[in-house]
Amino acid sequence: MSLNEQIAFLLHADKLKNVVRKNKLVSGERNENSAEHSWHVSLQAVVLAGHAPENLKLDTVLKMLTIHDIIEIQAGDHWVTEENETDVATLEAAAAEETFSLLPDNQAAEFKALWAEFEAGDSPEAKFANAMDALHPMLQVFGPNASGFCHQPLSADFLRRKKAPRLAPYPDLWAYAQSLLDAAVRNGYLMP
């Protein structure tokens, strides 16, 4: 029965609350988990939607951000680099296939398509969702009065190159993100 499959998926998704991310809470007291991140990045999208072009389908953005990390229950949270990017993509695609197949068939197909759209990052909604996902940990770590804690030594230059493809399409958000990197260098949280 369809409802039973939906419930089974929802109970499986509970495990996202135990997937620990690399970044800390703003206070620095502990690492964030991926369920908390998924909520906070959705809130960020609601708050910052006015910085995206008009006619953005916000319901699609919020659906994407709500489901985008569920695959981490199986695939884990990865710090993606040029070296591991193909392996991580393969791992995550397999996890998406398996995880969303818990849902009734029509919904499984819808969620897989939505996740693939987010990963491809081509539609206006996927672009904005990706920009939100790229900005969120920068706020958490380098925002006003945040901890500045990086899980490994990083440079502002490296992060500028990593984040630009997803954030530069939103000039005011990208300018703000770069001002955070500049401040992080001044505060000694990042190498130049």
Residues 19, 21, 23, 38: which binds its own copies (CB under 8 A)? 38
131 binds its own copies (CB under 8 A): no
- Tell me the HSE value of 108 on the side-chain side, using a 13 A CA sphere: 15
Residues 19, 21, 40, 112: which binds its own copies (CB under 8 A)? 40
184 binds its own copies (CB under 8 A): no
Q: Which of residues 16-35 bind its own copies (CB under 8 A)?
A: 16-18, 25-27, 32-33, 35
Please tell me the distance from the alpha carbon of residue 184 to that of residue 72, in angstroms, as a whole number.
Answer: 29
Q: Which of residues 51-110 bind its own copies (CB under 8 A)?
A: 51, 57-59, 62-63, 66-67, 70, 103, 107
Q: For residue 103, what are its two tokens?
A: 């849902």
Residue 75 · residue 90 · CB < 8 Å = no
The residue with tokens 């029965």 is 1
Tell me whether strands 31-33 and 20-24 are parallel, antiparallel or unpaired: antiparallel
Closer residue to its own copies in complex, CB, 11/191: 11
176 binds its own copies (CB under 8 A): yes
Would you give the DSSP letter of residue 18? Answer: G
Nearest distance, CB of residue 86 and its own copies, angstroms: 29
Residues 8, 94, 109, 191: which binds its own copies (CB under 8 A)? 8
Task: Report the Cα 135 to chain-centroid distance in Å.
Answer: 8
